[in-house]
Chain A
């Protein structure tokens, strides 16, 4: 019988999280893929959730160590179940100072010069909700929780949330991105665009505009959540310049095009298997 909770021996050593904030009994989430192997996931689960500002930290201090904020948990994990198999995932960010656009990216901006963008505090609307659902279904073939259910209740947010919204001159809303705004970095939480304007490359366009917005705020980094190598829907993240991925072993960031990054990508997934005979974890 698998235990409900088991003390976690972290495959990743957290450096930053204040010890009193960690509740060992809640740190261990049992996640299994179809081979019965446990996936690493570490969470901070506190009644008040995590308030980086309260701890004298900025949200980017957490993002820089692979943490993600979601209500009410802060969590980080190096694996993800894709197609029922455990896959490695890597938090990804970009150095804004080195984010130099290639000709192809400049062409995307030029092609969409007729669109109008606005960055402002994030507000849920029915049109964003509908677009988000359409996007999730067309891109990931799944239905996700609607924005209105995620943000309807007064939940803890670690950072102010802004939106970058894109309007078509006649169609209205066609893309948006929700961005957490830290003190020196931003984090794209969710992006959606209409699937029937493929020639516009709206995903790329929205991404470039989001980085531009972070640059206008004088930020050093822009985070985009994890890259999951096995899932082609995430591969676009590695196409952009000045991209860095998180090295879980070294707790450090690595330029995505270096040999070291390639070695990290190729490394096998660490996992543990529950041994029912010894009732313990087998490495």
Chain B
């Protein structure tokens, strides 16, 4: 009960696009996001700052050198940089139980658009690629899972301090709304001790 599990909005549609793009498509995509990537700081960006590259090198040089060496790693770095659209939110015990105690938390076919899937299914990187080391491990949740968390939190209203309850509920509600409005988005559930 002391685990610090977190939720983050995750752009599943974009992640799948990045995985499906060929070399040239991916480069065009990187160029289209160049400004966003270069605006990231060391802590935030994996792609831009990976490998201690000199600042003078162009994005094209970096991209092709990395891609030709390990394409899966480049894809994973871009997913890490671009697909998380919110900061981590720590989910409390009573909220998360709504997800864990529900049968829909069982992983389903990774191509399915409903039910939980695991990032292990989402990122089928070859074992020899360093992408596996860079890939986060998380459950991919949809709006209904977040709704289950809200319901569980409300059912245990008397066990949670007012401030915590309000923060949790508002964030979950906001996440539910965002997920309802954008079918490409999911919530990434990170298991953390």
Contact = CB atoms under 8 A, between A and B. Distances in A.
B139 interface: yes
B113 interface: no
Contact of B139 (A120, A124, A148, A167): A120
Band of interface residues on A: 20 to 34
A124 B118 CA distance: 20
A127 B97 CA distance: 9
Interface string B85-122: 00000000100110011110111000000000010000
Contacts, number: 43
A36 interface: no
B41 interface: no
Interface string A112-127: 0000111011011111
A117 B191 contact: no
A152 interface: yes
A168 B106 CA distance: 11
B191 A120 contact: yes
Nearest to B101: A127
Contact of B97 (A116, A125, A169): A125
Given A120-B191, A123-B96, A153-B2, A172 B106 contact: no
A148 B5 CA distance: 17
B148 to A, nearest CB: 12
Contact of A152 (B2, B5, B101, B103): B2
B3 interface: yes
B1 interface: yes
Given A118-B107, A120-B139, A125-B97, A152 B1 contact: yes
Given A148-B1, A152-B2, A165-B100, 18 more contacts: A118-B105, A118-B107, A120-B191, A121-B191, A124-B93, A126-B97, A127-B97, A127-B101, A128-B101, A151-B1, A152-B1, A153-B2, A154-B2, A167-B103, A167-B106, A168-B103, A169-B103, A173-B103
